């Protein structure tokens, strides 16, 4: 099916189905005959979606079960992230060159790209090992999903989780532009992404309206993700510049990174002001209304059919 609640199933059935689907997709990605970097990326996306799901129903799972699952997927993702960082740096360098193509000579940052490519190739064995570990972990995780306890079948099963993530996103928005630190923007990005996952999970409550809203949140995720990758690139360039023979190239690259990050943070601020304009309780109440209307619609359809 898809990464969203459906009207023909209970909340418990939806959560189990979605979790198992994501685990099965992750398992397939670990076996896929494709580029290792793509496989690692795809597995990580599945694990992130699973963390989004358990956050939505956190109060139903209970602290013990939630904490166990959250730490489990967090640690798996960290291990996979560590072996993909150099590939991500190459990708963000390509984006930066595309953005400022008219201001750069051809292959302006070829030396940086070459170093990232060499580092990426050296970690092939680690990537394979990471995927093998993920494959083994998924098998055990599938069995645990079947023991999850989701008792409520009304909006209360998801309402507090939705409100919690939205509230954390609002606070993260203010903190990011107050502190202006890489960490603050990174933490905000994580909450925005979880909220995006929640909108995807609940999209059937009002498909057209929530599709538009989710797209705006996805755009914000993209701005913040690119900003985060550029911050990682900046740290790597600063470190490499200590032994560089081309200080001018380093300065040029750092200047473009700073310029692009300023653009992205400005775009993210405008979008964030709109997405987080609503108070948390108002948003929760609005979605509760969507839920009730959706349930009424399902009842009518079931009678008609």
Q: For 226-249, write each residue's pLDDT tens digit.
A: 999 999 999 988 887 777 666 777
With tokens 């956050």, the residue in question is 55
More confident residue, 102 or 105: 102
Residue 20 has pLDDT above 60, yes or no: yes
pTM, rounded to two decimals: 0.91
Is 92:112 a contact under the CB 8 Å cutoff?
Answer: no
Q: Lowest-pLDDT range, 37-51, 87-101, 257-271?
A: 87-101
Is 211:246 a contact under the CB 8 Å cutoff?
Answer: no
pLDDT for res 261: 97
With tokens 């964030």, the residue in question is 272
The three-class DSSP label of residue 231 is helix
Average per-residue pLDDT for the chain: 90
% of the chain surpassing 90 pLDDT: 67
pLDDT for res 305: 38
% of the chain surpassing 70 pLDDT: 93
Mean pLDDT to the nearest integer, 204-215: 97
pLDDT range class, residue 281, cuts 50, 70, 90 = very high
Burial of 151 (0-12, 13-18, 19+ CB in 10 A): exposed
Residue 119 has pLDDT above 90, yes or no: no
pLDDT for res 12: 94
Rounded to 5 degrees, φ, ψ at 233 are -65, -40
pLDDT for res 303: 43
Longest dimension (CA), the chain: 75
Rounded to 5 degrees, φ, ψ at 244 are -80, 150
């Amino acid at each position: 099916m898809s990464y969203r609640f459906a009207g023909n199933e209970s909340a418990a059935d939806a959560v189990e189905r979605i979790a198992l689907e994501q685990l099965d997709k992750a398992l397939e990605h670990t076996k896929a005959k494709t580029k290792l970097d793509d496989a690692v990326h795809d597995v990580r996306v599945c694990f992130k979606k699973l963390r989004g799901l358990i956050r939505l129903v956190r109060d139903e799972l209970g602290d013990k079960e939630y904490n166990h699952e959250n730490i489990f997927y967090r640690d798996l993702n960290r291990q996979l992230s560590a072996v993909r960082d150099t590939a991500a740096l190459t990708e963000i360098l390509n984006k930066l060159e595309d953005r400022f193509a008219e201001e750069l000579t051809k292959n302006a940052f070829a030396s940086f790209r070459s170093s990232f490519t060499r580092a990426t190739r050296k970690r092939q064995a680690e990537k394979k090992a990471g995927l093998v570990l993920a494959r083994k972990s998924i098998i055990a995780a599938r069995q645990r999903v079947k023991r999850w306890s989701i008792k409520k079948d009304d909006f209360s099963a998801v309402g507090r989780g939705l409100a919690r993530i939205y509230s954390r996103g609002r606070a993260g928005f203010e903190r990011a532009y107050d502190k202006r630190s890489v960490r603050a923007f990174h933490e905000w990005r994580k909450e925005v992404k979880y909220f995006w996952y929640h909108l995807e999970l609940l999209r059937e409550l009002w498909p057209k309206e929530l599709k538009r809203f989710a797209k705006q949140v996805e755009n914000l995720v993209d701005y913040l993700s690119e900003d985060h990758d550029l911050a990682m690139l900046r740290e790597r360039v600063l470190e490499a510049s200590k032994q560089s023979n081309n200080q001018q190239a380093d300065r040029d690259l750092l200047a473009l990174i700073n310029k692009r990050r300023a653009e992205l943070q400005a775009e993210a601020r405008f979008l964030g002001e709109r997405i987080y304009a609503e108070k948390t309780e108002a948003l929760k109440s609005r979605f509760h209304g969507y839920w009730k209307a959706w349930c009424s619609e399902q009842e009518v359809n079931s009678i008609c059919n």
